[in-house]
Structure 1
């Protein structure tokens, strides 16, 4: 389904494939040879989404562009099923596996691998060719890699990366009620969406 959102329409190369049941919303550009499979959602929430040539976004993956943090998927990239790429840059030939999450401001270098259920935190940079092991967390610039049981060490690096400011535009002391009130108002823009196809 193609959706006009915030006044912008998706631009899909005639040499790309968007499977039935995929949703492409707003300022999204899909280049030649790209394949967007069933249930995938590519949504430009006040920031562009670009999918490069011959890249594949598999079933039920989410790719979201946001203000100040476009989602830029390079050429020859694989985004696995149920993966989450939110306001991040993914370099050519990179692999984001099933269930992996890449957060706003992150950069995944050319040929890097974010393996099953791994996480690349906000404002983190993976150098080209870096591998984040299954279930591990990459934090910082340059990225440090941690197993999930090392929470205190992860937090020591992550705290300075400003997740609330980067993702929600608020300081750490802001309560969830206020954050969600802002998020609810922001996503109300979908009330004016228009289905194109």
Structure 2
């Protein structure tokens, strides 16, 4: 049996589910209803990354899921047995399938479906169903990813400080 390892500097919402061979590096944020399930293969999440509400992260035997540093995984996205390099934005409700690799400094547009085994070059913008690279070698994408990660670092810290109260049903 393998217990998840989560650095104490992380913010993990009480509603998040983290199962199995998961390692989450320092400064990450795991938001409500995210599910990170490493029962078939390991999941590694790099420093400063955010896994937002309703995301699913899972692997397959022999195909781990690796998420780099300062990656923002948008609300409702699915990452399945894929590699996400550093400073990437995975858009809301997008799906990254087995064996795909998203290069550093890239953005996957909302709702995109990145095919099994697709290799996205660094600094790319990827959109559509199925996903297609529509822009490459664009340094502005890296800047956007860094800004987005910083916004989530600030939110992580505010939630850890208890700045937001939860509604308590009194009935």
Same fold (TM over 0.5): yes
Query: Of 98, 106, 111, which residue of structure 1 is paired with 2:105?
Result: 111
Query: 2: CA distance between counterparts of 1:145 and 1:129?
Result: 10
Matched, 1:101 2:95: yes
CA deviation map 1:130-174 (0-9, x unaligned)? 1112x3423xxxxx549xxxxxxxxxxxxxxxxxxxxxxxxxxxx
Residue in 1 aligned with 2:27?
Answer: 33
**1:149-160 alignment runs, 5 A limit:** none
Query: Of 25, 32, 37, which residue of structure 2 is paired with 1:43?
Result: 37
CA deviation map 1:90-128 (0-9, x unaligned)? 010011010000001000000111111001110110000
Matched, 1:68 2:62: yes
**What secondary structure does 2:79 align onto?**
strand
Query: 1: CA distance between counterparts of 2:129 and 2:121?
Result: 16
Does the 8 A contact of 2:120 with 2:133 survive in 1? no
Residue in 2 aligned with 1:19?
Answer: 13
Does the 8 A contact of 2:124 with 2:133 survive in 1? no
Greater C-alpha Rg: 1
Detail structure 1 runs of 4+ shifted over 3 Å in the superposition. none
Change (3 A) 1:129 1:145: closer
Which protein has the bigger helix share?
Answer: 1
Residue in 2 aligned with 1:193?
Answer: none
Residue in 1 aligned with 2:130?
Answer: 137
Query: 2: CA distance between counterparts of 1:56 and 1:136?
Result: 24
Does the 8 A contact of 2:20 with 2:38 survive in 1? yes
**1:75-94 alignment runs, 5 A limit:** 75-94=69-88
Query: 1: CA distance between counterparts of 2:106 and 2:85?
Result: 8
Q: Kindly report the root-mean-square deviation, in angstroms, between the aligned alpha carbons of the 2 structures.
A: 1.3
Change (3 A) 1:39 1:78: same
Query: 2: CA distance between counterparts of 1:90 and 1:53?
Result: 13
Structure 1 unmatched ranges of 5 or more? 1-6, 139-143, 147-197
